[in-house]
Structure 1
Amino acid sequence: MKSYGIVVLSLGSNLGYRLSNIQLAIRMLPIVNKVCSCVYESEALLPHGAPISWNIPFLNMAVAGYTDLSPFALLCHIKKIENFLGRRNKEFWSPRTIDIDIILWNNVIINDETLQIPHQHMRYRDFVLIPICDICPQFTHNVFNISINTMLLDITQVNLVQRLNSTNFILHPFSPQVHITHPLNR
């Protein structure tokens, strides 16, 4: 019998067809019973001195669900999805077609060179916490001992995250596909 872990991922895109990139990534994730947040737009998080051409707004969202993979096997699968969707690791903060981060995994703690769970910067990034609050605001990881919602209230650096009102993700319970609805499609 397989053992399933609950995982929360953060997805973002600021190159190409951003919404389609996120939609395709969600379809490819080896996660069942997916729950998706709303989609949000935020400014790119950039280091001091980054090229102006990197300042392209991101679309962000969170996905939670179950997987029977180990954290490292899921990370490997995520890297394959990112590569398939055209992500190239040119420079650390450069724009990307897709960025998928493992944020939480039950109460698992991993502090490895390639993987940190919970994500080491999650509590400082509103563009990560706001979408997670859509799907599991009361989740409390034993590292932080405060809820996701409380973490969000404690943020001091705001990134001007805006919810996209015109777009929603719909997951059909018996289909691995993600459908995007838009007012023009209704």
Structure 2
Amino acid sequence: MTTVYIALGSNLNTPIEQLDSAVLAISQLPQTKLGDVSPYYGSKPMGPQDQPDYVNAVLSIETTLSPITLLDELQRIENEQGRVRLRRWGERTLDLDILLYGDLEIQSERLTVPHYDMQNREFVIVPLFDIAPNLVLPNKSAVKNLRKNFEQHKMVLIKKAK
């Protein structure tokens, strides 16, 4: 089994329910066991500001699915939940991104792991720290050190982890 971290985000069609449904769907994937789920945070959009605020979280799973098979399954979940992608960095019904897949570094047409630029996104690092404070990224960056860059983050705690 490989430990995988997945970012979840939504700002359309009842975002909290979108994340709850995605967590449930991920927990039901074959050859996969749900690990920890971070609290849900409200955050301002990274892209165009004329869109609703986001709800973001990070979860961990243990899986034997290959990275591409997992990506296919996550995209299926997005589509089943009515994924809408209107513009780059725009509003989303559901966005599921593989942040880390064990210690693998993957650079392919369909998948980049670790997720590019994750270390500069408070809506990724803060919830990742919540569930994996001692995690070290493949580039040897410690999540606890990255978290220090976001001491003054502007996110709002929406829902505590179960």
TM-score by length of 1: 0.79
Alignment partner, residue 155 of structure 2: 161
Residue 168 (structure 1) shift: 3.1
RMSD of aligned Cα (Å): 1.8
User: What whole-Å deviation, never above 9, does each CA across 1:68-119 have from its counterpart, x for those lacking one?
Assistant: 1101110011111111111123322221111111001111100112211111
Asked if the contact 2:9–2:96 (Cα under 8 Å) also holds between the matched residues in 1, the reply is yes
Supply the distance in 2 between the matched residues of 1:22 and 1:51 (Cα, whole angstroms).
21
Unaligned runs of 5+ in 1: 171-186
Alignment partner, residue 18 of structure 2: 21
Alignment partner, residue 63 of structure 2: 67
Alignment partner, residue 100 of structure 2: 104
Asked if the contact 1:105–1:117 (Cα under 8 Å) also holds between the matched residues in 2, the reply is yes
Supply the distance in 2 between the matched residues of 1:89 and 1:61 (Cα, whole angstroms).
19
Supply the distance in 2 between the matched residues of 1:51 and 1:109 (Cα, whole angstroms).
32
Supply the distance in 2 between the matched residues of 1:32 and 1:98 (Cα, whole angstroms).
21
Alignment partner, residue 12 of structure 1: 9
The letter of the residue matching 1:5 is T
Question: Which among 143, 152, 156 is matched to residue 148 of structure 1?
Answer: 143
The letter of the residue matching 1:34 is G
The 3-state SS of whatever aligns with 2:62 is: strand
Unaligned runs of 5+ in 2: none
The letter of the residue matching 1:101 is D
Supply the distance in 2 between the matched residues of 1:10 and 1:72 (Cα, whole angstroms).
16
Question: Which among 120, 130, 148 is matched to residue 124 of structure 1?
Answer: 120
Q: Which has the larger radius of gyration?
A: 1
The 3-state SS of whatever aligns with 1:24 is: helix
The letter of the residue matching 2:157 is R
Alignment partner, residue 87 of structure 2: 91
Identity across the alignment (%): 27
